[in-house]
Copies of this chain bind each other. A is one copy, B any other.
Amino acid sequence: MDLKALIRTIPDHPKPGILFRDITTLLADGPGFREVITRLAARYQDAGIAKVAGIEARGFILGGALADRLGAGFVPIRKSGKLPGATIGHDYELEYGVDRVEIHRDAVSPGERVVLIDDLIATGGTAEAGLVLLRRLEAEVVEAAFVIDLPELGGRRRLETTCPTFCLIAFEGH
């Protein structure tokens, strides 16, 4: 199945010159969405995954489905102030300014095998921050997984230096 053909490109979003890769058209296609989850589940089926950690918000859609397939728990990594229990957080730099992600302190137990998932890796800043949080909880992060890679932005190469990284689809140009 040509998953790439199911992803819509929106030119000049969110600003002029950017080709925005919109995964919602793939998610809305029943067979396409199932194929994405089937490929990811096949990859991690025998990896002893205890938790799937999804990054807010589109990582929740993929992570929920993957956790269900694997019989694993789902753990949300959220923007600041969104989680109700005791959290740890990590600040990371954006092009302009700073952002922060948080995770519940008790979301993962030491040694638990975890897959980190998001829909897309661009510069990799958010994924790297999620990885920091999971490792502070002493999770064993088996891999970081993404549907879409934008190789020109270098996030995958950067993340690979610290964690195995898997992407289903790459788009040249961004």
B-contacting residues of A (Cβ < 8 Å)? 8, 10, 13-14, 20, 22, 24, 27-34, 37, 50-51, 54, 56-58, 60-65, 67-76, 78, 82-85, 104, 107
Bound CA–CA A14/B85 (angstroms): 10
CA separation between A61 and B72, bound complex, in Å? 13
- Choose among A58, A61, A82 the residue with the greatest number of B CB atoms under 10 Å from its CB: A61
Copies of this protein in the assembly total: 2
| CB–CB B74/A28 < 8 A | yes
**Given contact pairs A60-B58, A67-B65, A28 touches B84 in the complex (Cβ within 8 A):** no
Q: What 14 additional pairs, Cβ within 8 angstroms, besides A31-B71, A60-B60?
A: A8-B85, A10-B85, A13-B84, A22-B84, A24-B84, A27-B64, A27-B76, A28-B74, A28-B107, A33-B67, A57-B78, A58-B76, A61-B74, A65-B68
The secondary structure that dominates the A interface is mixed
